[in-house]
Structure 1
Amino acid sequence: EDTVGRWGGDEFVILLAGEDVLDHCQPIARKLIEEVDQTIVVANASYHLGASIGIAMAPADGDTAEELIRLADLAMYRAKVAGGDCFAFVSPELNRSSSERLAIEVDLRQALRRNEFEIHYQPQVAIGTHRLTGLEALIRWNHPRLGLVPPDRFIPIAEESSLINEIGSWVVNEVGRQIQAWRAAGAPLVPVAVNVSARQCQDLALVDIIRQTLERYDIPASQIEIEITETAAVQNMEHMTRLLGELSALGVKLAIDDFGTGYSSLAHLKCLPISVLKIDKSFVGGTPDNHEDRSISRATIALAHSLGMKVVAEGVESEPQRAFLDTENCDIAQGFLFSRPVTAAAILDLLLQGQGPAVASPDVEVGTEP
């Protein structure tokens, strides 16, 4: 007899028993994926349902419930990375990855106390004039043993372990402190975009954190822009409408990041107080040669402008890309063509110059942004 239970949120646990469990767990996994795979309509918006399944076997993978669930969870995330709507087994490679992941999580819990994080800032420039119009704050972790750990390696771990709220609060405070420092140095200010994860968006305390930061450093709310991903924006429309409404009431600007990679619709966008859409770099990277990427970028720019929003193109790495976006009336560009993320001291120099950076100098490597 098999047992099914809801583990929490959108996660379920199934316990299969029997001597031939290895043989029949795969057909069961396939059947579950087939049954879940469907499209539903809620409030005139369509949503695709899918399932990713991780499978751990006893006693080969572990002999306690805690260990089996932990490994099955890791296998599930591997299935998600593979594209979803599939299943994955625990493997020796996964066990090694689990050990590395656990080590990073342990170190993450000490990183704030040890002051190992720092913020770099990537310029955003007016696409026609290259003048500096804004910045995006990007966290960096100077690990004492591993060196500079890229965000895509530790942010997902922070999100899964609930550390992201503490780290996110630190980022907001650090950005506020830095804006105050730039102003004290006599620099003209530009808005700074701060990325907020889906997990942070679940807590209305985010509004208080940002309000307290603005008050603590006596900075205008217009100097802060909050970026959320398209997927996070539509996870819980009632909650997100309230959260973003309260943030907008503070006076901060709101942006949708990675636009085009999620499942939002016009019905969602028009309900949210968004002022900026950011075209994901996966689309910008294919312009101007790829027809589909050109069409998506062109349509996004037209959509945003029709809704009164500005458009930021991420990952601009070549002059042909910039020229195409300029022709399509994109407002702002960000990418290695103009500047990689740099230190706060380097940004101070740019602000004091009163203009944005020129194209990358020869010693700047052009490549995928961290």
Structure 2
Amino acid sequence: MNGRWRTGAIFDEARRNALLWRSRQSIAIAVSILLGLGLALTSASDWHTLSRNIESLDLRGRNVLIAQATDPASPAEISIASCEATSELLAVERAGAVVALDSTNVTQLGPRVPLVGVSPSLLPELDHVAAVVGSSLGLAPGDITLVVEGEVLTARVGQPQPEAFGLNSAVAVRVPFTTTWTRQCVIELGDSESVTRQAALISAQLRTDGGDIAVTPYVNETFDILQAFGSRPTRWVPLGFGLLGLILGGALLSMRSSELAAYRLSGTSRRDLVILLAAEQALLAGVTVAFGSFGCVIALLVVPTMPLTTLLWPWVTGLTSLVGFWFVAYFATRRSPAVLARDR
């Protein structure tokens, strides 16, 4: 074709060049598909690992504060009402008192089972049943009838609680109404809250009697798991995959010197040839975006903790390879047709 190309003809030619399953382009199409699916797999793996790590740390007592006496030799008590009131703070997920009661005999569990008084603000199941059985005591999950010292109670086998609560191997009941002070207040913060900052704020809100109290984290983390996740190397994968697509596109372009020479010798202008090559790369980038977006949607269903912003990863990869390839194509087509023909 001589002269200027019509826009429709350029994109029709680009479609035939880019998406026909022939020897060279089959490599580009396959790599584009793998790049898209690789993005989804990488993101899903990252967020799944983060979820598992956070879940493991949560069960140990991550972001759990314990308010108690600074010196065991100088007992201090905390008002249960002020302890439960901290659960209303925006930074707090739940909070309440934990009061050790006498061991008791439970027909289903045996003698001398630890009995613990707990605030419903810390263990919401106590708003619905009289007792919550710890998950480590061996009963099947669900609602049950518990016989405690001959008294029949409605009960529920609870979910695993953070180690800091001390409830997994005990039977929890409401704190007796006659008990208004506790030696221990347990506070669970939100995932992204600053333990140090919130400890100072909560300490100021607790009403105490006796010696001094300290509000300290149950688990002293040696590093911030969320900060470490934010600085992980794989966050650069979208750009890295985009550069990989650019390198592949440049390598395949260098193998098409005779084809580019034929276009130029047939009268195709540099401008139209750059547009044609960019359109080919745009179609390949579109393959990456399509398969990457599809993979990310599937990953979102499998890993619910993944944010919707993950859907932008394939677009970053596609745009990186496309913009970079435009410059490569621009400089490649500046060579004369005679030089291009000699390079075949």
Name the TM-score class by shorter chain.
under 0.3
Q: As a proportion of its length, which structure holds more helix?
A: 2
Larger radius of gyration: 2
**TM-score, normalised with respect to structure 2:** 0.20
